[in-house]
Each structure stands twice: as structure tokens, then as C-alpha cells.
């Protein structure tokens, strides 16, 4: 469920929502970052002075060496630890393959909703996001 940001903590993050062939780009976090080994969508902290879109582009380049085009904000959420997340539907050239930066990302996957639902080691926002898409709360513009 979307919650107003102004009433919660100050730490902000951005999440890249990238589809290819009705599959969502999922990463497994490296063992050297917070929430090590967890599956999630790529993204990270919005630094002071950055727009959400700028932070998204920077984080995708840092984590996966990809250049994305932010399309539109599709969801907002708050992590259990109070980070305010902005989820951005983004475009990636179909010929570009993400390359994991091992300092931040252990694995890169393209998963269907069914494959995501079978996973167990995820950040809590990932299954919530998939459920919000399937319930119609979020429109991502592709079947999922």
C-alpha cells in the first residue's frame, strides 16, 4: 500500500522496474551490502540533491553497468526499517545485457511472476510489489 512520505523517515531510495519479454529484472544482493544474498529489484539510495530519476540512472549504472530511461513512477512504498522507496518503470535497450558489479550484486535474473513467487530469500517489498501488480493496484503496461 502506498503511504505518504512526509510522515515517515528521511532516508529515500529508488527502485528500477525493468521488464523484458514479460520477465522482471531481479538481482541477488552481494554478501557485502545490507540484506546480503536477498533477491530484490535493482536500486539504491537517493543522495542529497538528486532527483529520483537521476538516482535511478546512477544506481543502474553502478550496480549493473546499464543505461536506463526512466519512464514513470509506478509505486511508492516504505521498507520495514523506514526507507521511502520510489519504484520507477524504466526502459532498457533490448540488446543490452546487465553485468553485475560484484561489490553490490551477486546474480542477475529475468524472472516471471511465477518464478518470483517460488523464491524464498527476498526482501519483503518484492512479493508485495508483484502482488500489487497482479491485483491491479499497479499498472506496469505489460502482462505479468
pLDDT at residue 80, as a whole number: 86
At a CB cut-off of 8 Å and minimum separation 6, what does 15 contact? 40, 41, 42, 43, 85, 86, 87, 88, 125
pLDDT along the chain (144 residues), means of 10: 50 97 97 94 96 98 98 94 95 97 97 96 95 95 89
pTM of the model: 0.91
Of 117, 128, 106, 122, the C-alpha closest to 38 is: 122
Distance CA 140, CA 144 (A): 8
Q: What residue ranges do the domains of the chain occupy?
A: 22-134
Helix (H, G, I), strand (E, B) or coil at 120: coil
pLDDT at residue 2, as a whole number: 45
What sign does the CA torsion over 81, 5, 71, 133 have? Answer: positive
Q: What is the CATH number of domain 22-134?
A: 3.90.79.10
Are the beta carbons of 100 and 140 closer than 8 angstroms? no
pLDDT at residue 10, as a whole number: 80
Amino acid at each position: 500500500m502506498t503511504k505518504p512520505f512526509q510522515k515517515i523517515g528521511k532516508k529515500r531510495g529508488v527502485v528500477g522496474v525493468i521488464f523484458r519479454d514479460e520477465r522482471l529484472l531481479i538481482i541477488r544482493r552481494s554478501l557485502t551490502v545490507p540484506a546480503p544474498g536477498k533477491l530484490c529489484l535493482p536500486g539504491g539510495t537517493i543522495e542529497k540533491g538528486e532527483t529520483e530519476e537521476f538516482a535511478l540512472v546512477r544506481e543502474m549504472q553502478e550496480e549493473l553497468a546499464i543505461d536506463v530511461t526512466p519512464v514513470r513512477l509506478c509505486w511508492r512504498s516504505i521498507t520495514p526499517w523506514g526507507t521511502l522507496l520510489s519504484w520507477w518503470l524504466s526502459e532498457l535497450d533490448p540488446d543490452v545485457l546487465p553485468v553485475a558489479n560484484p561489490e553490490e550484486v551477486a546474480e542477475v535474473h529475468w524472472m516471471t511472476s511465477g518464478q518470483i513467487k517460488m523464491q524464498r530469500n527476498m526482501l519483503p517489498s518484492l512479493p508485495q510489489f508483484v502482488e500489487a501488480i497482479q491485483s491491479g493496484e499497479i499498472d506496469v503496461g505489460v502482462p505479468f
